[in-house]
Structure 1
Amino acid sequence: MRDAIRFALNGAIRAVDDVPPHMTLLNWLRAEGLTAAKEGCAEGDCGACTVLLGTPLPDGAEGFDWRAVNACLVLVPQVDGRAVVTAEGLAKGGSAPHAAQTLMAETHATQCGYCTPGFVMALAALGRTPARDDESVMDSIAGNLCRCTGYRPILEAARALPLEAPAPEEAALAEKLREIAAAPLDYRAGSHRFLAPTTLDDALRLRQQFPEAWLWAGGTDQGLRVTKQFQVPPGILYLGRVPDLRGITEDKDGLTIAANTPYADALEALAALAPGLDGMIRRIGAAQVRNLGTLGGNIGTASPIGDTLPPLIALDAEITLVSAERGRRTVAARDFVTGYRKTVLDPDELIVAIRIPRPAPGTHIAAYKIAKRVDQDISTVAAAFALKVQDGRVDHARLAYGGVAATPVRAEKAEKALLGQPWTPETVAAVKRAVAEDISPMDDARGTAAYRTAVAANLLDRLWHETAEPGTPARLEAL
Structure 2
Amino acid sequence: MSYNCKLKMDHHRNQDSHDPSKNTIEFTINDVVYKVDDNLTPQTSLNVFIRDHANLRGTKAMCHEGGCGACIITANINDEILAVNSCLVPVIICNGWKITTIEGLGNKKKGYHKIQAVLAEMNGSQCGFCSPGMVMNMYSLFQKNNLTMKEVENSFGGNICRCTGYRSILDGFKGLAIDAEPDLAKKIQDIEELYELKKCPKTDKACNNKCKKLKSHKKSINMKFGNTKFYKTTSINELFSIFNENKNLSYILNGGNTAHGVYRIEKPNMYIDINDINDLHNIKKTNSSLTLGGNVTLTIAKKTFIKFSKDQGFQHLQHMANHVDLIASVPVRNIGTLAGNLMIKHKHHEFPSDLFLMLETAGAELHILNSPLEKNTFNLIDFLKINMKHKIIYSIVIPALKSEHEYRSYKIMPRSQNAHAHVNAGFLVKLNNEGVLLERPNLIFGGIKHDFQHALATEIFLTGKCIFDENVFKEAIKVLDSELKPDHILPDYSPKFRMTLAEGLFYKFKTKFI
* Alignment TM-score, normalising by the size of structure 2: 0.83
Determine if contact 2:361/2:426 at 8 Å carries over to the other structure: yes
The 2-side partners of 1:69 and 1:210 are apart by 31
> Per the alignment, do residues 295 and 325 of structure 1 end up closer, same or farther by CA in structure 2, a change over 3 Å counting?
closer
3-state SS in 2 of match to 1:428:
helix
In structure 2, the partner of 1:213 is 251
Give the residue type in structure 1 aligned to 2:374: G
Match of 2:226 among 184, 190, 196: 190
Higher-RCO chain (CA-CA 8 Å, sequence separation at least 6): 1
Determine if contact 2:148/2:177 at 8 Å carries over to the other structure: no
Query: Displacement of 1:128 after TM fit?
Result: 0.4
The 2-side partners of 1:410 and 1:326 are apart by 33
The 2-side partners of 1:353 and 1:399 are apart by 24
Match of 1:36 among 58, 61, 69: 58
Match of 1:423 among 453, 456, 467: 467
Determine if contact 1:309/1:408 at 8 Å carries over to the other structure: no
The 2-side partners of 1:322 and 1:439 are apart by 35
Match of 2:30 among 5, 10, 13: 10
**Larger deviation, residues 100-109 vs 273-282:** 273-282
Determine if contact 1:248/1:266 at 8 Å carries over to the other structure: no
The one-character-per-residue Cα deviations of 1:416-467 (angstroms, maximum 9, x if unpaired) are: 11122112343332222222454442112131222222222221110011x2
In structure 2, the partner of 1:52 is 74
Match of 1:447 among 469, 493, 497: 493
**Larger deviation, residues 83-92 vs 422-431:** 422-431
Query: Displacement of 1:184 after TM fit?
Result: 0.7
In structure 1, the partner of 2:169 is 154
1:301 aligns with 2:344: yes
The 2-side partners of 1:86 and 1:464 are apart by 49
Give the residue type in structure 1 aligned to 2:70: A
Give the residue type in structure 2 aligned to 1:348: H
Query: Displacement of 1:326 after TM fit?
Result: 6.3
RMSD over aligned Cα atoms: 2.0
Determine if contact 1:284/1:290 at 8 Å carries over to the other structure: yes
Matches within 5 A, 1:389-428: 389-390=431-432, 391-396=434-439, 397-407=441-451, 409-424=453-468, 425-428=470-473
> Per the alignment, do residues 370 and 347 of structure 1 end up closer, same or farther by CA in structure 2, a change over 3 Å counting?
same
Determine if contact 1:310/1:408 at 8 Å carries over to the other structure: no
Determine if contact 1:22/1:75 at 8 Å carries over to the other structure: yes
1:282 aligns with 2:325: yes
Query: Displacement of 1:247 after TM fit?
Result: 3.1
In structure 1, the partner of 2:85 is 70
Q: Percent identity?
A: 25
The 2-side partners of 1:157 and 1:210 are apart by 53
Query: Displacement of 1:255 after TM fit?
Result: 0.6
Query: Displacement of 1:81 after TM fit?
Result: 1.1
Match of 1:269 among 293, 304, 311: 304
Give the residue type in structure 1 aligned to 2:40: V
Matches within 5 A, 1:76-225: 76-91=91-106, 94-161=109-176, 165-168=208-211, 170-171=212-213, 174-175=214-215, 178=216, 181-210=217-246, 212-222=250-260, 224-225=262-263
In structure 1, the partner of 2:283 is 248
**When you count strand as a share of all residues, which structure comes out higher?**
1
Give the residue type in structure 2 aligned to 1:45: G
**Larger deviation, residues 116-125 vs 402-411:** 402-411
**Larger deviation, residues 328-337 vs 45-54:** 328-337
The 2-side partners of 1:306 and 1:385 are apart by 15
1:349 aligns with 2:391: yes
Determine if contact 2:93/2:254 at 8 Å carries over to the other structure: no
Query: Displacement of 1:187 after TM fit?
Result: 2.7
Give the residue type in structure 1 aligned to 2:44: M
The 2-side partners of 1:42 and 1:361 are apart by 45
Determine if contact 1:220/1:292 at 8 Å carries over to the other structure: yes
The 2-side partners of 1:230 and 1:398 are apart by 33
The 1-side partners of 2:29 and 2:129 are apart by 22
Rg comparison, structure with higher value: 2
Give the residue type in structure 2 aligned to 1:418: L
Match of 2:400 among 355, 358, 362: 358
Determine if contact 2:367/2:396 at 8 Å carries over to the other structure: yes
> Per the alignment, do residues 401 and 210 of structure 1 end up closer, same or farther by CA in structure 2, a change over 3 Å counting?
farther
Determine if contact 2:411/2:423 at 8 Å carries over to the other structure: yes
In structure 2, the partner of 1:341 is none
The 2-side partners of 1:230 and 1:325 are apart by 27
Query: Displacement of 1:249 after TM fit?
Result: 1.2
3-state SS in 2 of match to 1:80:
coil
> Per the alignment, do residues 263 and 325 of structure 1 end up closer, same or farther by CA in structure 2, a change over 3 Å counting?
closer
Query: Displacement of 1:337 after TM fit?
Result: 1.1
> Per the alignment, do residues 316 and 248 of structure 1 end up closer, same or farther by CA in structure 2, a change over 3 Å counting?
same
1:322 aligns with 2:322: no
The 2-side partners of 1:25 and 1:306 are apart by 26
The 2-side partners of 1:254 and 1:92 are apart by 50
**Larger deviation, residues 433-442 vs 364-373:** 433-442
The 1-side partners of 2:261 and 2:159 are apart by 19
In structure 2, the partner of 1:334 is 381
Query: Displacement of 1:324 after TM fit?
Result: 2.1
The one-character-per-residue Cα deviations of 1:161-219 (angstroms, maximum 9, x if unpaired) are: 27975554x23xx12xx1xx221122321111221101111112223333511122221
Q: What is the number of equivalent residue pairs in this alignment?
A: 446
1:22 aligns with 2:60: no
The 2-side partners of 1:436 and 1:191 are apart by 53
> Per the alignment, do residues 34 and 51 of structure 1 end up closer, same or farther by CA in structure 2, a change over 3 Å counting?
same
**Larger deviation, residues 157-166 vs 134-143:** 157-166
Match of 2:360 among 305, 313, 318: 313
Query: Displacement of 1:468 after TM fit?
Result: 1.6
In structure 2, the partner of 1:476 is none
In structure 2, the partner of 1:234 is 269
> Per the alignment, do residues 40 and 92 of structure 1 end up closer, same or farther by CA in structure 2, a change over 3 Å counting?
closer
